[in-house]
C-alpha cells in the first residue's frame, strides 16, 4: 500500500480500536428507512501529507472527476444552484437541494459578502502579503445557519507561505471516513495545487484537522455485503486475510469468506507429488493440477528441487486471485490464461 493508504488505514484502525459509540443518544442523522444512524467516532484527529504527496488512496475507488467538479463549482464558479450541478453531472447534492433549487446559504454562498469575496481576498493576500497569518476562508455563518441546506462539514481553510511553498490546513467539523474523507483529501489537494499555481508558488504540506471522525457508512455497507455469510465462513475469511499482504474490497473479502478451504502451498506440493504416483486414486485441486502441469517436465528430468520451487511460485501467484474471484478449490480445470492473466 502507498503512504496515503497507510495513513487512511491507521485512521480507520484508530476509530475501530479507540472510538466510542453514540448508541441510545439523540443523534441528528437518520438512514432512509428512518432508523437513527449511530456511529463509532473519535474527536480531534490530525493528519499531514508532506510536500510531493497527493492524498489519493488506492484501496477504494475515489470518484476523482466528481471531486474536482464539485470543488470548481464551489470555489471557482461559486454556485449553489442545482441547474449548474446538473450541467456538470454532479449528483451528490441532489437530496440536499432546497425547494428553490439551491443549497441556500451553504458553501459557496458564503464567499461573497457585499463587495468583498473571500477567494479573491485570499489570493490577493497570498500574493501581496504572504507572511500574513490571516490567509483564511470560512463557510461558517451562525446567523444564516437556518437558511442552509446543510451545515458545512469541511468549513474552513488556513493558508501559509514559507520557503516558496503554499501550505494548507483544512478544518472539518464532521468526517465520514468511509465515504467523504478520501473525496475531501483529493479535492482540497487539487485546490491547493490550483492556488499555488495561480500565485507562482510550489505546493507544500497539506494538513487535515478533523473534529468528529466516524465511519458512518461502513456498518451499512458491510452488513449488506455479508448477507448469507455464516459466522464460521466469516472467521475463515479473516484467517485467509491474515496470511496475505493484501487489502481487499468488501466484495473481495466476502469472496474469501465463501471460497472454501484452499490448500497451503506445502500441502498442495505434497498432494501433487502423491498424484503423480497414482493419478486414478489420488485427487488434487485444479489449481494444484495447473501448477503441477507447469513443472512436470522438470519432474521427468529428476529436477525435483527446481520443480518444487517453481510449483510453489505458480501456486502462490494464482491462489489469491482464485480466492477473490470466488472460485472453489474443486472448480473445473482452467485454461492457462485463466490463472496467469
> Is 242 part of any domain?
no
State which residues form the domain around 267: 259-340
Least confident of 72-76, 148-152, 229-233, 278-282: 229-233
CATH number of the domain bearing residue 28? 3.30.572.10
Handedness of CA 63, 184, 107, 32 (dihedral sign): positive
Question: pLDDT tens across 67-105, in order?
Answer: 999 999 999 999 999 999 999 999 999 999 999 999 999
> Is 83 part of any domain?
yes
> Is-above-0.95 flag for pTM?
no
Which residue's C-alpha cell is 473571500? Answer: 118
Question: pLDDT tens across 214-237, in order?
Answer: 875 555 555 556 667 777 777 777
Question: What are the φ and ψ backbone dihedral angles of 199, each rounded to 5 degrees?
Answer: -100, 10
Looking at the structure, tell me whether residues 13 and 162 fall in a common domain.
yes
Distance CA 22, CA 39 (A): 6
| Whether residue 334 has pLDDT greater than 50 | no
Distance CA 127, CA 124 (A): 5
Tell me which of 153, 165, 200, 247 is the catalytic residue.
153
Handedness of CA 190, 195, 200, 201 (dihedral sign): negative
Looking at the structure, tell me whether residues 330 and 190 fall in a common domain.
no
Going by pLDDT thresholds of 50, 70 and 90, the confidence category of residue 241 is low
The last residue of a domain, from among 167, 196, 222 = 222
| Whether residue 29 has pLDDT greater than 80 | no
Looking at the structure, tell me whether residues 191 and 332 fall in a common domain.
no
Q: Across all residues in the chain, what is the average pLDDT? A: 85
153: annotated active-site residue: yes
User: When comparing pLDDT for 141 and 283, which is higher?
Assistant: 141
* Predicted pLDDT at 319: 79
* Predicted pLDDT at 246: 47
Question: What's the total number of domains in the chain?
Answer: 2
The last residue of a domain, from among 222, 244, 278 = 222
Amino acid at each position: 500500500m502507498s503512504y496515503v493508504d497507510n495513513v487512511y488505514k491507521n485512521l480507520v484502525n484508530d476509530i475501530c480500536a479507540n472510538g466510542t459509540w453514540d448508541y441510545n443518544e439523540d443523534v441528528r442523522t437518520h438512514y432512509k428507512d428512518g432508523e437513527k444512524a449511530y456511529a463509532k467516532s473519535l474527536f480531534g484527529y490530525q493528519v499531514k501529507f508532506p510536500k510531493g504527496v497527493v492524498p489519493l488512496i488506492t484501496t477504494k475507488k475515489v470518484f476523482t472527476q466528481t471531486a474536482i467538479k464539485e470543488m470548481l463549482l464551489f470555489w471557482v464558479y461559486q454556485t449553489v444552484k442545482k441547474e449548474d450541478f446538473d450541467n456538470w453531472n454532479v449528483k451528490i447534492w441532489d437530496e440536499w437541494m432546497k425547494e428553490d433549487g439551491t443549497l441556500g446559504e451553504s458553501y459557496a454562498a458564503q464567499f461573497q459578502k457585499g463587495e468583498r469575496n473571500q477567494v479573491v481576498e485570499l489570493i490577493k493576500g497570498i500574493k501581496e502579503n504572504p507572511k500574513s497569518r490571516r490567509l483564511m476562508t470560512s463557510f461558517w455563518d451562525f446567523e444564516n445557519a437556518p437558511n442552509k441546506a446543510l451545515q458545512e462539514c469541511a468549513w474552513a481553510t488556513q493558508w501559509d507561505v514559507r520557503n516558496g511553498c503554499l501550505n494548507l490546513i483544512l478544518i472539518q467539523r464532521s468526517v465520514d471516513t468511509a465515504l467523504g474523507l478520501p473525496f475531501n483529501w483529493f479535492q482540497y489537494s487539487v485546490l491547493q495545487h490550483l492556488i499555488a499555481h495561480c500565485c507562482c508558488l510550489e505546493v507544500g504540506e497539506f494538513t487535515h484537522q478533523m473534529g468528529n471522525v466516524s465511519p458512518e457508512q461502513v456498518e451499512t455497507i458491510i452488513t449488506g455485503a455479508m448477507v448469507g455469510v455464516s459466522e464460521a465462513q466469516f472467521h475463515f475469511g479473516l484467517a485467509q486475510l491474515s496470511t496475505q499482504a493484501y487489502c481487499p474490497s468488501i466484495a473481495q473479502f466476502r469472496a474469501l469468506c465463501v471460497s472454501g478451504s484452499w490448500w497451503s502451498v506445502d500441502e498442495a506440493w505434497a498432494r501433487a507429488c502423491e498424484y503423480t504416483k497414482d493419478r486414478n486414486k489420488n485427487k488434487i485441486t485444479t489449481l494444484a493440477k495447473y501448477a503441477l502441469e507447469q513443472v512436470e517436465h522438470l519432474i521427468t528430468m529428476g529436477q525435483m528441487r527446481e520443480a518444487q520451487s517453481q510449483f510453489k511460485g505458480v501456486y502462490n501467484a494464482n491462489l489469491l486471485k482464485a480466492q477473490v474471484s470466488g472460485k472453489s478449490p474443486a472448480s473445473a480445470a482452467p485454461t492457462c490464461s485463466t490463472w496467469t492473466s
